[in-house]
Structure 1
Amino acid sequence: MPQFWRPVRTLLGLLLRRPLVGTCVIPILPDGRIVLIQRRDSGCWGLPGGLVDWGEDIATAAKRELLEETGLDLINVGRLIGVYSDPERDPRFHSACVALEAYVDGNFFIRDKAEVMRIEAFTVDAIPRGNLAHDHDQQLQDYFNGATVLA
Protein backbone atom coordinates (compact mmCIF):
# COMPACT_ATOMS: atom_id res chain seq x y z
CA MET A 1 0.00 0.00 0.00
CA PRO A 2 1.43 3.41 -0.91
CA GLN A 3 2.37 5.66 2.03
CA PHE A 4 -0.30 8.15 0.98
CA TRP A 5 -3.19 5.78 1.78
CA ARG A 6 -2.01 4.82 5.27
CA PRO A 7 -3.12 8.08 6.99
CA VAL A 8 -6.35 8.12 4.98
CA ARG A 9 -7.12 4.57 6.08
CA THR A 10 -6.30 5.44 9.70
CA LEU A 11 -8.55 8.53 9.58
CA LEU A 12 -11.44 6.57 8.07
CA GLY A 13 -11.06 3.93 10.78
CA LEU A 14 -11.22 6.61 13.46
CA LEU A 15 -14.26 8.28 11.92
CA LEU A 16 -16.27 5.15 11.14
CA ARG A 17 -15.50 2.98 14.18
CA ARG A 18 -17.52 4.84 16.75
CA PRO A 19 -20.53 3.79 18.79
CA LEU A 20 -23.84 4.95 17.39
CA VAL A 21 -26.06 7.14 19.57
CA GLY A 22 -29.68 6.25 20.15
CA THR A 23 -32.53 6.69 22.54
CA CYS A 24 -35.07 4.46 24.27
CA VAL A 25 -38.38 5.69 25.55
CA ILE A 26 -40.26 4.35 28.56
CA PRO A 27 -43.72 5.46 27.39
CA ILE A 28 -46.23 6.05 30.19
CA LEU A 29 -49.91 6.27 29.19
CA PRO A 30 -52.30 8.52 31.16
CA ASP A 31 -53.59 5.42 33.01
CA GLY A 32 -50.03 4.50 34.10
CA ARG A 33 -49.50 1.53 31.79
CA ILE A 34 -46.17 1.19 29.99
CA VAL A 35 -46.10 0.66 26.23
CA LEU A 36 -43.79 -1.94 24.70
CA ILE A 37 -43.27 -3.03 21.12
CA GLN A 38 -42.69 -6.54 19.87
CA ARG A 39 -39.68 -6.45 17.59
CA ARG A 40 -39.84 -8.21 14.24
CA ASP A 41 -36.11 -9.09 14.18
CA SER A 42 -36.08 -11.06 17.45
CA GLY A 43 -39.72 -11.47 18.46
CA CYS A 44 -38.80 -9.96 21.84
CA TRP A 45 -40.71 -7.21 23.55
CA GLY A 46 -38.81 -3.99 24.12
CA LEU A 47 -38.93 -0.26 24.51
CA PRO A 48 -39.53 1.95 21.49
CA GLY A 49 -36.47 3.80 20.33
CA GLY A 50 -33.75 4.03 17.77
CA LEU A 51 -30.81 5.96 16.44
CA VAL A 52 -30.49 9.72 16.55
CA ASP A 53 -30.47 11.16 13.04
CA TRP A 54 -27.84 13.65 11.90
CA GLY A 55 -28.86 17.16 13.00
CA GLU A 56 -31.34 15.82 15.58
CA ASP A 57 -31.22 16.12 19.36
CA ILE A 58 -32.10 13.29 21.78
CA ALA A 59 -35.59 14.62 22.66
CA THR A 60 -36.52 15.03 18.99
CA ALA A 61 -35.24 11.54 18.17
CA ALA A 62 -37.25 10.09 21.07
CA LYS A 63 -40.42 11.80 19.85
CA ARG A 64 -39.85 10.68 16.25
CA GLU A 65 -39.01 7.07 17.14
CA LEU A 66 -42.00 6.82 19.49
CA LEU A 67 -44.35 8.07 16.77
CA GLU A 68 -42.82 5.80 14.07
CA GLU A 69 -42.96 2.67 16.21
CA THR A 70 -46.16 3.17 18.21
CA GLY A 71 -48.20 6.00 16.69
CA LEU A 72 -48.19 7.70 20.10
CA ASP A 73 -47.46 11.36 20.74
CA LEU A 74 -44.81 12.34 23.26
CA ILE A 75 -46.56 14.88 25.50
CA ASN A 76 -43.81 15.49 28.04
CA VAL A 77 -40.33 14.11 28.67
CA GLY A 78 -40.03 12.99 32.28
CA ARG A 79 -36.71 12.13 33.79
CA LEU A 80 -33.47 10.76 32.42
CA ILE A 81 -33.24 7.07 33.34
CA GLY A 82 -29.68 6.62 32.19
CA VAL A 83 -27.07 6.32 29.52
CA TYR A 84 -26.34 2.72 28.54
CA SER A 85 -23.17 2.07 26.54
CA ASP A 86 -22.03 -1.50 27.18
CA PRO A 87 -20.60 -2.69 23.85
CA GLU A 88 -22.69 -5.89 24.19
CA ARG A 89 -26.04 -4.17 24.89
CA ASP A 90 -27.18 -4.44 21.26
CA PRO A 91 -26.25 -7.58 19.29
CA ARG A 92 -26.20 -5.68 15.98
CA PHE A 93 -23.61 -2.99 16.74
CA HIS A 94 -22.03 -0.92 19.49
CA SER A 95 -24.46 1.80 20.50
CA ALA A 96 -24.89 4.22 23.36
CA CYS A 97 -28.53 4.61 24.38
CA VAL A 98 -30.06 7.51 26.30
CA ALA A 99 -33.15 6.19 28.11
CA LEU A 100 -35.94 8.62 28.95
CA GLU A 101 -39.25 8.49 30.78
CA ALA A 102 -41.98 9.95 28.57
CA TYR A 103 -45.62 10.75 29.15
CA VAL A 104 -47.52 9.82 26.01
CA ASP A 105 -51.01 9.80 24.54
CA GLY A 106 -52.78 8.76 21.36
CA ASN A 107 -53.76 5.57 19.57
CA PHE A 108 -51.49 2.67 18.70
CA PHE A 109 -50.43 2.58 15.07
CA ILE A 110 -47.38 0.83 13.63
CA ARG A 111 -45.75 3.01 10.98
CA ASP A 112 -42.55 0.97 10.78
CA LYS A 113 -43.91 -2.50 10.00
CA ALA A 114 -40.46 -3.77 9.01
CA GLU A 115 -39.33 -3.32 12.62
CA VAL A 116 -42.45 -3.66 14.79
CA MET A 117 -44.86 -6.63 14.95
CA ARG A 118 -47.13 -5.56 17.82
CA ILE A 119 -47.72 -2.79 20.34
CA GLU A 120 -49.16 -3.42 23.76
CA ALA A 121 -49.65 -1.50 27.01
CA PHE A 122 -48.72 -3.36 30.19
CA THR A 123 -49.38 -2.76 33.83
CA VAL A 124 -46.17 -2.80 35.85
CA ASP A 125 -46.87 -6.35 37.07
CA ALA A 126 -47.64 -7.67 33.58
CA ILE A 127 -44.46 -6.53 31.79
CA PRO A 128 -42.80 -9.65 30.29
CA ARG A 129 -39.55 -9.21 32.21
CA GLY A 130 -36.56 -11.48 31.84
CA ASN A 131 -36.46 -11.68 28.07
CA LEU A 132 -36.79 -8.13 26.78
CA ALA A 133 -34.75 -6.92 23.82
CA HIS A 134 -31.23 -5.55 24.27
CA ASP A 135 -30.77 -4.26 27.84
CA HIS A 136 -34.37 -3.10 28.28
CA ASP A 137 -34.86 -5.29 31.38
CA GLN A 138 -32.08 -3.29 33.04
CA GLN A 139 -33.46 0.04 31.84
CA LEU A 140 -36.91 -0.75 33.23
CA GLN A 141 -35.45 -2.01 36.51
CA ASP A 142 -33.48 1.22 36.87
CA TYR A 143 -36.65 3.18 36.11
CA PHE A 144 -38.68 1.31 38.73
CA ASN A 145 -35.85 1.76 41.26
CA GLY A 146 -35.87 5.52 40.64
CA ALA A 147 -32.23 5.37 39.57
CA THR A 148 -30.37 7.49 37.07
CA VAL A 149 -27.43 5.45 35.83
CA LEU A 150 -24.37 5.58 33.68
CA ALA A 151 -23.85 2.00 32.53
Structure 2
Amino acid sequence: MRRLWHFAQAVLGILFRHPVTGTSVIPILPDGRIVLIQRSDTGKWALPGGMVNWGEDIATSIQRELEEETGLEVARICRLVGVYSSPERDGRVHSICVVVEVQATGSLKINDPVEVIDVQAFTPADIPIGTLSHDHDRQLKDYFAGHTTLA
Protein backbone atom coordinates (compact mmCIF):
# COMPACT_ATOMS: atom_id res chain seq x y z
CA MET A 1 0.00 0.00 0.00
CA ARG A 2 2.80 2.42 0.90
CA ARG A 3 4.63 1.72 -2.35
CA LEU A 4 1.41 2.45 -4.28
CA TRP A 5 1.06 5.77 -2.46
CA HIS A 6 4.67 6.71 -3.34
CA PHE A 7 3.95 5.86 -6.97
CA ALA A 8 0.76 7.93 -6.93
CA GLN A 9 2.67 10.90 -5.46
CA ALA A 10 5.29 10.66 -8.20
CA VAL A 11 2.62 10.46 -10.92
CA LEU A 12 0.77 13.47 -9.50
CA GLY A 13 4.04 15.43 -9.44
CA ILE A 14 4.69 14.59 -13.05
CA LEU A 15 1.12 15.39 -14.14
CA PHE A 16 0.99 18.71 -12.36
CA ARG A 17 4.67 19.53 -13.05
CA HIS A 18 5.53 20.45 -9.49
CA PRO A 19 8.52 19.06 -7.60
CA VAL A 20 8.00 16.54 -4.83
CA THR A 21 9.45 17.40 -1.42
CA GLY A 22 11.64 14.85 0.31
CA THR A 23 14.27 14.45 2.98
CA SER A 24 17.69 12.89 3.44
CA VAL A 25 18.88 12.18 6.94
CA ILE A 26 22.51 12.04 8.07
CA PRO A 27 22.12 9.92 11.22
CA ILE A 28 25.07 10.13 13.59
CA LEU A 29 25.34 7.40 16.22
CA PRO A 30 26.78 8.17 19.68
CA ASP A 31 30.12 6.65 18.57
CA GLY A 32 30.32 9.01 15.56
CA ARG A 33 29.47 6.47 12.87
CA ILE A 34 27.05 7.44 10.09
CA VAL A 35 24.20 5.13 9.13
CA LEU A 36 23.48 4.33 5.49
CA ILE A 37 20.86 2.11 3.88
CA GLN A 38 21.27 -0.11 0.86
CA ARG A 39 18.42 0.56 -1.55
CA SER A 40 16.52 -2.41 -2.98
CA ASP A 41 15.81 -0.71 -6.32
CA THR A 42 19.45 0.07 -7.24
CA GLY A 43 21.53 -1.86 -4.72
CA LYS A 44 23.40 1.37 -3.96
CA TRP A 45 24.13 2.78 -0.53
CA ALA A 46 22.22 5.93 0.37
CA LEU A 47 21.23 8.20 3.19
CA PRO A 48 17.91 7.26 4.78
CA GLY A 49 15.01 9.45 3.77
CA GLY A 50 12.08 9.77 1.47
CA MET A 51 9.10 11.82 0.43
CA VAL A 52 7.24 14.06 2.82
CA ASN A 53 3.70 12.78 3.20
CA TRP A 54 0.68 15.01 2.67
CA GLY A 55 -0.09 16.83 5.94
CA GLU A 56 3.35 16.06 7.40
CA ASP A 57 6.05 18.55 8.36
CA ILE A 58 9.75 18.02 7.62
CA ALA A 59 10.67 17.12 11.21
CA THR A 60 7.98 14.43 11.35
CA SER A 61 9.04 13.09 7.95
CA ILE A 62 12.65 12.83 9.14
CA GLN A 63 11.63 10.90 12.24
CA ARG A 64 9.30 8.58 10.32
CA GLU A 65 11.73 7.82 7.48
CA LEU A 66 14.64 7.20 9.86
CA GLU A 67 12.61 4.74 11.93
CA GLU A 68 11.12 2.98 8.88
CA GLU A 69 14.42 2.52 7.09
CA THR A 70 16.92 2.02 9.94
CA GLY A 71 15.01 1.25 13.14
CA LEU A 72 16.67 4.28 14.77
CA GLU A 73 15.04 7.17 16.59
CA VAL A 74 15.91 10.85 16.32
CA ALA A 75 17.46 11.98 19.59
CA ARG A 76 18.06 15.51 18.28
CA ILE A 77 17.94 17.34 14.97
CA CYS A 78 21.35 19.03 14.78
CA ARG A 79 21.63 21.15 11.67
CA LEU A 80 20.37 21.84 8.21
CA VAL A 81 22.97 20.62 5.72
CA GLY A 82 21.19 21.91 2.66
CA VAL A 83 18.29 22.05 0.26
CA TYR A 84 18.97 20.28 -3.04
CA SER A 85 16.58 21.00 -5.89
CA SER A 86 18.32 20.29 -9.19
CA PRO A 87 15.88 18.56 -11.57
CA GLU A 88 18.64 16.03 -12.36
CA ARG A 89 19.30 14.93 -8.77
CA ASP A 90 16.75 12.08 -8.89
CA GLY A 91 16.07 10.24 -12.13
CA ARG A 92 12.56 9.24 -11.10
CA VAL A 93 11.00 12.63 -10.47
CA HIS A 94 11.94 16.27 -9.88
CA SER A 95 12.32 16.45 -6.12
CA ILE A 96 13.43 19.01 -3.60
CA CYS A 97 15.42 17.35 -0.84
CA VAL A 98 15.92 18.86 2.60
CA VAL A 99 19.04 17.33 4.18
CA VAL A 100 19.59 17.36 7.93
CA GLU A 101 22.06 15.92 10.40
CA VAL A 102 20.55 14.14 13.41
CA GLN A 103 21.83 12.43 16.50
CA ALA A 104 20.29 8.97 16.42
CA THR A 105 19.78 6.27 19.02
CA GLY A 106 18.57 2.70 19.02
CA SER A 107 19.43 -0.51 17.24
CA LEU A 108 19.80 -0.93 13.49
CA LYS A 109 16.82 -2.77 12.03
CA ILE A 110 15.19 -2.78 8.61
CA ASN A 111 11.50 -2.00 9.06
CA ASP A 112 10.80 -1.56 5.34
CA PRO A 113 12.25 -4.55 3.45
CA VAL A 114 10.53 -3.43 0.24
CA GLU A 115 12.78 -0.34 0.00
CA VAL A 116 15.83 -1.38 2.06
CA ILE A 117 17.96 -4.52 1.78
CA ASP A 118 20.65 -3.59 4.31
CA VAL A 119 21.45 -0.97 6.92
CA GLN A 120 24.95 -0.37 8.29
CA ALA A 121 26.91 2.16 10.30
CA PHE A 122 30.12 3.48 8.71
CA THR A 123 33.00 5.50 10.06
CA PRO A 124 33.33 8.66 7.95
CA ALA A 125 36.50 7.24 6.34
CA ASP A 126 34.69 4.02 5.31
CA ILE A 127 31.69 5.61 3.55
CA PRO A 128 31.79 4.56 -0.13
CA ILE A 129 31.85 8.13 -1.47
CA GLY A 130 31.62 8.16 -5.25
CA THR A 131 29.18 5.25 -5.44
CA LEU A 132 26.17 6.50 -3.46
CA SER A 133 22.64 6.79 -4.80
CA HIS A 134 21.19 10.02 -6.25
CA ASP A 135 23.25 13.04 -5.16
CA HIS A 136 24.07 11.66 -1.71
CA ASP A 137 27.81 11.88 -2.48
CA ARG A 138 27.45 15.64 -2.79
CA GLN A 139 25.24 15.88 0.27
CA LEU A 140 27.82 14.07 2.41
CA LYS A 141 30.73 16.07 0.94
CA ASP A 142 28.89 19.28 1.83
CA TYR A 143 28.21 17.90 5.31
CA PHE A 144 31.86 16.97 5.92
CA ALA A 145 32.97 20.40 4.64
CA GLY A 146 30.61 22.10 7.10
CA HIS A 147 28.64 23.79 4.32
CA THR A 148 24.99 24.73 4.33
CA THR A 149 24.05 24.36 0.67
CA LEU A 150 21.26 25.70 -1.48
CA ALA A 151 21.56 23.95 -4.84
Task: Normalising by structure 2, report the TM-score.
Answer: 0.90
- The percent of aligned pairs where both chains have the same amino acid is 61
What letter is aligned with 2:144? F
What letter is aligned with 2:22? G
Task: Normalising by structure 1, report the TM-score.
Answer: 0.90
Deviations 1:113-149 (A, max 9, x none): 0100000000010001101000000000000000001
Quote the Cα distance in structure 2 between the aligned partners of 1:117 and 1:33.
19
| Structure 2 counterpart of 1:83 | 83
Quote the Cα distance in structure 2 between the aligned partners of 1:51 and 1:13.
12
> Displacement of 1:17 after TM fit?
1.2
Q: Secondary structure at the match of 2:68?
A: helix
Q: Secondary structure at the match of 1:67?
A: helix
Q: Which has the larger radius of gyration?
A: 1
What letter is aligned with 1:124? P
Quote the Cα distance in structure 2 between the aligned partners of 1:18 and 1:115.
24
What letter is aligned with 2:49? G
1:62 matched to 2:62? The reply is yes
Quote the Cα distance in structure 2 between the aligned partners of 1:22 and 1:48.
11
> Displacement of 1:16 after TM fit?
1.8
Q: Secondary structure at the match of 1:97?
A: strand
Q: Secondary structure at the match of 2:107?
A: coil
**Number of aligned residue pairs:** 140
- Taking only aligned residues, the RMSD between alpha carbons, in angstroms, comes to 1.5
| Structure 2 counterpart of 1:132 | 132
Q: Secondary structure at the match of 2:26?
A: strand
1:149 matched to 2:145? The reply is no
Quote the Cα distance in structure 1 between the aligned partners of 2:14 and 2:43.
34
Quote the Cα distance in structure 2 between the aligned partners of 1:139 and 1:14.
25
Quote the Cα distance in structure 1 between the aligned partners of 2:129 and 2:63.
24
What letter is aligned with 1:56? E
Deviations 1:17-36 (A, max 9, x none): 10000000000000000000
> Displacement of 1:108 after TM fit?
1.0
Q: Does the CA-based 8 Å contact 2:34-2:122 persist in structure 1? A: yes
1:107 matched to 2:114? The reply is no
| Structure 2 counterpart of 1:5 | none
Give unmatched runs, 5+ long, in structure 1: 1-11
| Structure 1 counterpart of 2:37 | 37
| Structure 2 counterpart of 1:25 | 25
